[in-house]
Structure 1
Amino acid sequence: MNIFERIYLFFYLRKKKKDLKSQKKLPFPVISVGNLTVGGTGKTPFTIALAKELKKREYKPIILTRGYRGRLKGPLVVTEEMIARDVGDEPLMMAMEGLIVIKCPDRYSGGIYAIEKLGFTDKGRAVFIVDDGFQHWKLYRNVNILLIDGFKGFGNCCLIPCGPLRSPLTEITEADMVFITKKENNTIYQHIKDMGIKEVYFAPFKVEGIISMDGRKIEPAGQKVFAFAGIGNFQGFLTLLNGVGFKVGRYKKFIDHKKYSETTLKKILNLAAEAEVLVTTKKDFVKIKDFSNLPDSLCYMEISMEINSQTVDKIMDLMHNC
């Protein structure tokens, strides 16, 4: 570990110690969904899938999120009529799925707000899901779920700024369950098992389709495709596109959580002048869907994440037996 990692680790551990001393507990179970690394590990589709599975079991899931890059601080209830600039792209995506989403940097305050605002009682079967909660020690978690990118794994296994790790790799032992997301990767699976982790599962992406502006599914049919996105794992997006038969010619990669403008969109359209289809992610689409003069050729990839029923049962067992 070099000097830069040591500096990061010092402040990381100091903050963790401080937050744990002031940790608060909500009156309903809390499931944390988080990761060890920077960049996307599929937290949003996993959270959506988990919340929907809880609803099937007649629970009332409430998602607590900080709403990264959303300019409204909260606490507030995110609705699908809002815009990504105000509440963040991922909270808006979750709200568009018909889920209860509370935006607030302090997840405990967000939880109390939800209880008071929505009137949950002891018999309400409410369950809180904390989006990006692994490093949010201020709130007590009944179940800690950790997601690992099936494409990237742990990278070079170094801490920020020398690598992708937000937490020391040894803290993987604090997770109750580890999910390898996006694709099944047996090498990463064995690596995690060798670290002594027993509860390791796969949660691969499923491409539901490429959706046009008017809601139709688009077939590949050998069309010229231009792809663009501002996500943590752009290469994974291209891999998924190729996997469903689209042959991407040119593309434009932006930083994660890219804030789009009409000017940026014009530049994208210029780059894609020869393309027959423009494809982005839903996370990016929700940030530009209200722009003027969107081309009819614009589409987005609709994905879901597969969590089998037995695995959800395991989460329920942990939630009730903690």
Structure 2
Amino acid sequence: MSLHAILEQHWQRPKWWLTPLLWPLARLFQALAALRRYAYARGWLQQQHLPCAVAVVGNIHAGGVGKTPITAALASGLRARGVAVGIVSRGYGRRSKEVLLLDQHSRAADVGDEPLMLWRQTGVPVAVGAQRFQAAQALLAAHPETQLILCDDGLQHYALARDWEIVVFPAADVARRLDLLPNGGLREPLSRLHTVDALVVSQGSADDVARLRQNQGLPPQLLVCASRIQAGRLYRLNTPAHTVAAGELAGKSIAALAAIARPQRFFDALRDLGLPPVLCKALPDHAELTPADLSVAEIVIITEKDAVKLAAYDLPQVWVLPIEAHTEPDLVEWLWRCWRVQQAA
């Protein structure tokens, strides 16, 4: 078992013998993270400002917590309200180190699977780069009409100045005792939640929101939303216009493949739709895919994040399950109002 796997198990079920070894390292990590943030706040390290509004959608956890569906919902919702939106991302797992603006020729290997999925889902300009400021500059050069940039991930990328911080927090962790890396899975302490502009409890309920507010003593004026995921109509790989209802595939031999952070959620969603897979294959998050990775079955269902990695192949047996994030209260409406107030100031 790899060291990373051992640590992830420890984060979920703390091992008594590891805690005394990792706790001092977590305190050192906490001190360094606090010092870095303080250095930006005091101006010792310089932030770079863009000529348009910036909202960061991030997390204090290491690993996936459901940020990308929230980013997609914000981009689509703001665009529908007439805001010219763009998205910047690091493009985790990509091979290229260049700053790239996505287009119809972009490949997941070069720009990252999540940015490419966002570009296809939302239709808004997307740029990737390790330095988000440089990615945003490239996006604005190509699309000077952009009024608001969403930074997908990058809460700890303090070099980019931001107007609003939106943190996604998994409902499963609301009542758990959490620590910083490497003793736990947090990049920043829970006290960081007091300084953000909005919180989204992913896969959560109103009870989870109330529990998080109480447990962390969050200020009453802080917007805290519960998000839920809603599945759309399945569509054939590379042919989004060819859709079917879940019931039309019922009774067939179905396999499921997911190279995402929490694949069990995807498999459970299929079962909830009445499409229990006979085979479930989970690969590491952001793993590259080829047809050889697909199980032999009458129907193979994959995520939209994985669909962008198989776009070059003709695979008529592969269907894609799209998902949308919905928040209560409406996060899109909140950010739109914040942006309008800023514009009127």
Same fold judged by TM-score > 0.5?
Answer: yes
- 1:22 counterpart = 2:46: yes
Equivalent in 243, 257, 278 of residue 216 of structure 1: 243
- Please list every run of 5 or more consecutive structure 1 residues that lacks an aligned counterpart in the other structure: none
Q: Does 1:279 align with 2:289?
A: no
Q: Does 1:243 align with 2:272?
A: yes
- Matched residues in 2 for 1:243 and 1:25: separation? 45
Deviates more, 1:71-80 or 1:169-178: 71-80
In structure 2, the partner of 1:103 is: 128
Tell me the alpha carbon deviations over residues 80-112 of structure 1, each in whole angstroms, 9 at most, x when there is no partner.
331100100011111113111011211122222
Q: 1:308 to 1:280 in 2, by over 3 A?
A: same
Counterpart of 2:162 (choices 132, 137, 141) is: 141
User: With structure 2 as the length reference, what TM-score do the two structures score?
Assistant: 0.81
Conserved 8 A contact 2:100-2:111: no
Identity of aligned residues (%): 26
Q: 1:162 to 1:74 in 2, by over 3 A?
A: same
Task: Report what 2:118 is aligned to.
Answer: 94
Kept after mapping to 1: 8 A contact 2:226/2:328: no
**Match for 1:137: what amino acid?**
Y
Residue 91 of structure 2 is aligned to residue 67 of structure 1: yes
Report deviation, 1:74: 3.2
Contact 2:205 2:227 (8 Å CA) reproduced: no
1:257-289 alpha-carbon deviations (Å, 9 max, x no partner): 1122x4xx42x34xx33x332122110121122
CA separation in 2, counterparts of 1:245 and 1:191? 32
Which of 166, 181, 187 does residue 160 from structure 1 map onto? 181
Q: Which amino acid aligns with 2:255?
A: F
Matched, 1:184 2:204: yes
Q: Quick one: distance in 2 between partners of 1:314 and 1:208?
A: 24
307-316 vs 226-235, which moves further:
307-316
Q: Confirm whether residue 77 of structure 1 aligns to residue 97 of structure 2.
A: no
Residues 224 and 38 (structure 1), Cα distance of their counterparts in 2 relative to 1, 3 Å cut: farther
1:255 corresponds to: 284
Q: SS of the counterpart of 1:32?
A: strand
1:125-175 Cα shifts (integer Å, max 9, x gaps): x10111102111111111111112234557651222232212211111121
Bigger mean CA offset, 251-260 vs 209-218: 209-218
In 1, distance between residues paired with 2:260 and 2:32?
27
- Cα offsets for 1:210-255 (capped at 9, x unmatched): 2223433253413332222111111211221111111123212111
Q: Classify the secondary structure of the residue corresponding to 2:79.
A: helix
Q: Name structure 2 gaps, 5 residues minimum.
A: 1-18
Give secondary structure in 2 for the equivalent of 1:173: helix
Distance 2:94 2:74 in 1: 23
1:10 to 31, 36, 57: 31
Moved more, 50-59 or 68-77: 68-77
Q: Which moved more, 1:228-237 or 1:70-79?
A: 70-79
> 1:232 is matched with which residue?
261
CA distance in 1, matches of 2:137, 2:102: 15
Mapped partners of 1:114, 1:212: distance in 2:
31
User: What secondary structure, in the 3-state scheme, does the structure 2 residue paired with 1:161 have?
Assistant: coil
Report SS of the residue matched to 1:201.
strand
* TM-score, structure 1 as length reference: 0.86
Structure 1 partner of 2:335: 315
2:323 pairs with 1:303: yes
The 3-state SS of whatever aligns with 1:179 is strand
